[in-house]
Amino acid sequence: MRSKARARNAVALAASLGVAAVCCLGCGTSSSTAERALVERYLAEVEPIRLSVNRLLERADPILEGFANHGLSRATAARRMDALERRFAAYAVQIAGVNPLDAELRSLNVPYAETYVLEDSYLAALVAGISNGNLRDLPDTQAAQRAAIIRWRTRLTVLAARVHARLPLDLQQAGRGEIAPSPFGS
């Protein structure tokens, strides 16, 4: 229930920032201030999704380790990973639904949202692999995801610096480390 309330609050904040940005465009405020408001609105929409995905994917390793160490049966591991994949798929829909007012931010978000599609594809294949006992044919999406996330992070950092917008402190970690959970545990 709290996550739904947080999501509603983030959407309300994003909408308020968007209205403020549009209002600022017509009231003689500098374009940098209006652009900063648009970046901040984008971040208000993306950050709750990005952080929720990070927390969700942290739950994959214990499942996969339990499966690899025979602490979880194939059926249990597949069921738990399937639930995780379905939750991830909902986040993929949410990130694809982010539609910034600014064309530059839209061009940033489209390839970033594609990384969610790649990850969901990997997770779905992982569930199937666990279910049928064949983990050899998993798609290798990490390099494409990592490159797209780093491009997103870099372009967002440049844009934020230009308009003097603050970025989340952990944003520089995006694209580093493990992208796709290892089917054999950490």
Domain boundaries, the chain: 52-173
pLDDT band at 25 (very low <50, low <70, confident <90, very high): very low
Q: Please answer whether residues 112 and 95 qualify as being in contact, where contact means their C-beta atoms are separated by less than 8 angstroms.
A: yes
Q: Dihedral, CA atoms, 142, 179, 47, 24, nearest 10 degrees?
A: -30
Residue 2 scores a pLDDT above 90: no
Which of 26-30, 113-117, 137-141 holds the top average pLDDT?
113-117
Report the distance separating Cα 43 and Cα 37, nearest Å. 10
CA angle 46–122–72, rounded 5-degree value: 105
Radius of gyration of the chain (CA): 19
Measured from the Cβ of residue 167, the count of other Cβ atoms closer than 10 Å reads: 17
Residue with tokens 């199937």: 128
The average pLDDT across 103-131 equals 96
pLDDT band at 40 (very low <50, low <70, confident <90, very high): very high
Q: What are the CB-based long-range contacts (under 8 Å, 24+) for 39-42? A: 39/102, 39/105, 39/156, 39/159, 39/160, 39/163, 39/165, 40/165, 40/166, 41/14, 41/17, 41/100, 41/101, 42/14, 42/98, 42/100, 42/102, 42/105, 42/108, 42/109
pTM given for the model: 0.78
Q: Dihedral, CA atoms, 150, 151, 156, 161, nearest 10 degrees?
A: 90
The average pLDDT across 136-160 equals 93
Structure tokens at 137: 């044919």
